[in-house]
């Protein structure tokens, strides 16, 4: 089910309030806003929300045997990657960057924010459908820019995305985390790709992508050949 509102501050915040009030939102329910006035990204960043792009959130009802909650970031990223395969031409260069960035031609095309709400996880996804924000620290792109022949609107993109996320959630539960991480790795930048990782307590740490740990942590090969395992940090392509 997709519920659409004309404007709200944040679809993630709205679902958090509704779940907190005891509303029984079933897994697969989506809330989409035509406009957001206070969209948020990872690490407290503001998410630009011009009309025409997709701003939506859904809920995942956690089960006893689910893989670790934080690995839903990989599930969401794979769902958006699957979406892009259906929206962009075959030659489009669509890659994943740890943990859940989706890049087209090296430019950011979406934002993903996961937040815990009791025994649910709220998955917020913003996709640049018709326009891309001008950001000082990274390149951005939209579906319309990458594929001018694509005239799908935000609602059509969300309907496709909802199906992709349903399939990736089923894989995560049915096949286990290893299968999800293997698929993520296949669609990511190759091993050896130079990365810059910003850590809260150390600042900038350069290295090279060396794959993922079994729990999804980033393996970073340092200049001296040693291996650093990163559980939280901002990653950019060097």
Could you tell me the pLDDT band of residue 217, with boundaries at 50, 70 and 90? Answer: very high
Torsion of the alpha carbons at 141, 76, 199 and 13, rounded to the nearest 10:
90
Q: Which of 229, 180, 189 is nearest to 77 (CA)?
A: 180
pLDDT at 234 over 80: yes
| Location of structure tokens 């659409």 | 4
Question: Mind listing the pLDDT tens digit for each residue in 77-122?
Answer: 999 999 999 999 999 999 999 999 999 999 999 999 999 999 999 9
Question: Mind listing the pLDDT tens digit for each residue in 13-35?
Answer: 999 999 999 999 999 999 999 99
Q: Is the pTM of this model over 0.85?
A: yes
Neighbours of 233 (CB within 10 A): 20
Label the pairing between strands 30-36 and 2-8.
parallel
Residue 204 has phi, psi (to 5 degrees) of -85, 125
Cα separation, 41 vs 128, in Å, equals 14
3-state secondary structure of 152: coil
Q: Does residue 14 contact residue 4 with C-beta atoms inside 8 Å? A: no
Query: Which letter does DSSP use for residue 73 in this model?
Result: H
Q: Does residue 141 contact residue 104 with C-beta atoms inside 8 Å? A: yes
């Amino acid at each position: 089910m997709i519920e659409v509102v004309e404007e709200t501050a944040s679809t993630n915040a709205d679902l958090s309030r509704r779940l907190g009030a005891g509303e029984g939102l079933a897994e697969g329910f989506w809330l989409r806003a035509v406009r957001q006035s206070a969209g948020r990204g990872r690490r407290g960043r503001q998410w630009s929300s011009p009309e025409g792009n997709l701003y939506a959130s859904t809920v995942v009802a956690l089960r006893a045997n689910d893989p670790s909650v934080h690995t839903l970031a990989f599930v969401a990223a794979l769902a958006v990657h699957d979406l892009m395969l259906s929206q962009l031409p075959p030659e489009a260069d669509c890659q994943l960057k740890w943990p859940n960035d989706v890049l087209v031609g090296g430019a950011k095309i979406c934002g993903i924010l996961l937040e815990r709400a009791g025994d649910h996880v709220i998955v917020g996804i913003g996709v640049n459908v018709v326009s891309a924000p001008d950001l000082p620290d990274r390149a951005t792109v939209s579906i319309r820019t990458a594929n001018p022949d694509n005239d799908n609107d935000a609602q059509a993109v969300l309907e496709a995305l909802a199906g992709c996320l349903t399939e990736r959630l089923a894989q995560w539960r049915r096949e286990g985390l290893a299968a999800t991480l293997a698929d993520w790795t296949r669609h990511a930048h190759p091993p050896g790709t130079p990365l810059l990782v910003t850590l809260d307590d150390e600042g900038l740490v350069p290295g090279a992508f060396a794959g993922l740990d079994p729990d999804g942590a980033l393996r970073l090969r340092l200049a001296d050949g040693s291996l650093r395992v990163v559980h939280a940090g901002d990653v950019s392509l060097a």
